A and B are shown apart, each in its own frame.
Chain A
Amino acid sequence: MTSKSGAVISALITLVLFVGIPYLLPSYIPADLLAQVESSGFDLAGFTNQIMIIGAVTAGLTLAVGFVNPNSVLSLILRIAQAGLSLVFIVVFLGAGNIAGLGYTEFDVAMEGVTSSIAMDLRVFVYISIATILLKVVQVYLEWNEERIEAAPPGRIAP
């Protein structure tokens, strides 16, 4: 399988998982559960929109990486952008759509004489993700450099 066809397949899978499923998901949630979710102050539509935007951009980047010269600087930039976008996805996912919370989410619910403030702290996973994405950037750079050296004509050191 060539890198181009691999990129097309990966981009399609990304589109199905992160655009198709979030798009269809609200229609499969029972109406009473959907009403309960909305009354909790959770912006489900906003959350799915964010996931779909990230999914579409990731699919585009995946496609672009497969079609550019793997030894070019553009390829390196695209692969680092992919890594960065995966961090954005994790932050959005763990923060239930609130990027600024960095994994800390708060909801206020008020109904029938009861007011409730719910807070969930998952920041540790965002910190771990930041560390792994930084490592990923290093890995991407090393791989790109190794590929460049291997692609250089014998006897020549890649610039």
Chain B
Amino acid sequence: MKFSKIIGALIAVVQLASALGLVIGMHSMLGVFSTAMSGGEQGIEIQFTDPVIVPFNLAPRNGGFVDTVLEVRIAMIVDGVEVAYDTASVSIPAGSSVPVDLELSVPLEDAEEYFQEGTELQWETDISVTSLFDLISFSNHMVMEAGAE
């Protein structure tokens, strides 16, 4: 067999594996990202206790064929200053769902000040999904004005 044919076969195998990896990795990665985002759209029910608790419940689901890692960071920004944050990092095996529960804890006295009219309140979220043995990633940094949908 000619050497050029061997190289040709090698190229075909690598290209096929690469295309397959792209499709499988993207499927898992975007699936986890979209389900994590849809969980965050359910609305925030603030618990006015002392301290005030702001819970965020995500239910990312990996419907793909390779494991993914989801990293989430949520922060509360008041007048440009970060006053509370929480982070979580979970590994989501292929075909399963892992709930991610985050909460921001703010002393009641401070919260009353933050939630009054005239203060500029923002929610900042960082969602990062890596897949295909950490070779590919998708991330979203979002800043949302309080009251925006």
Taking CB atoms and an 8 Å cut-off, the chain A residues in 105-154 that contact chain B are 112-122, 124-125, 128-129, 131-132, 135-136, 138-139, 142-143, 146
In the assembled complex, B88 has its CB within 8 A of some CB on chain A: no
Question: Which residue in chain B gives the minimum CB-CB distance to A110?
Answer: B143
Out of B14, B22, B148, which one reaches A114, CB within 8 Å? Answer: B148
A118 CB contacts on chain B under 8 angstroms: 138-140
Q: How large is the interface on A (under 10, 10 to 19, 20 to 34, 35 or more residues)?
A: 20 to 34
- B80 touches A (CB below 8 Å): no
CB-based contact A139/B148 at 8 Å: no
Question: Which residues of chain A have C-beta atoms less than 8 A from B7's C-beta?
Answer: 135, 138-139, 142
- In the bound assembly, the distance between CA atoms of A122 and B25 in angstroms comes to 10
Q: Which B residue sits closest to A120, measured CB to CB?
A: B138
B145 within 8 A of A: yes
Instruction: Please name the residue on chain A nearest to B26 by beta carbon.
Output: A122
Interface size class of B (residues with CB under 8 A): 20 to 34
Contact (A112, B18) CB under 8 Å given A142-B4, A146-B2, A146-B4:
no
Q: Which residues of B lie under 8 Å from residue A125 when comparing CB positions?
A: 18, 21-22, 136
Q: Can you name 27 A-B pairs with beta carbons within 8 Å?
A: A113-B144, A113-B145, A113-B148, A114-B142, A114-B143, A114-B148, A115-B142, A116-B140, A116-B141, A118-B138, A118-B139, A119-B139, A120-B136, A121-B136, A121-B138, A122-B22, A122-B136, A124-B135, A124-B136, A125-B21, A125-B22, A132-B11, A136-B11, A139-B8, A139-B11, A142-B7, A143-B4
What residues of chain A have their CB less than 8 Å away from a CB belonging to chain B?
Answer: 112-122, 124-125, 128-129, 131-132, 135-136, 138-139, 142-143, 146
**Additional A-B contacts beyond A117-B141, A125-B136 (18; CB < 8 A):** A112-B148, A113-B144, A113-B147, A113-B148, A116-B140, A116-B143, A118-B138, A120-B137, A120-B139, A121-B136, A124-B132, A125-B18, A132-B11, A132-B15, A135-B7, A139-B7, A139-B8, A142-B2
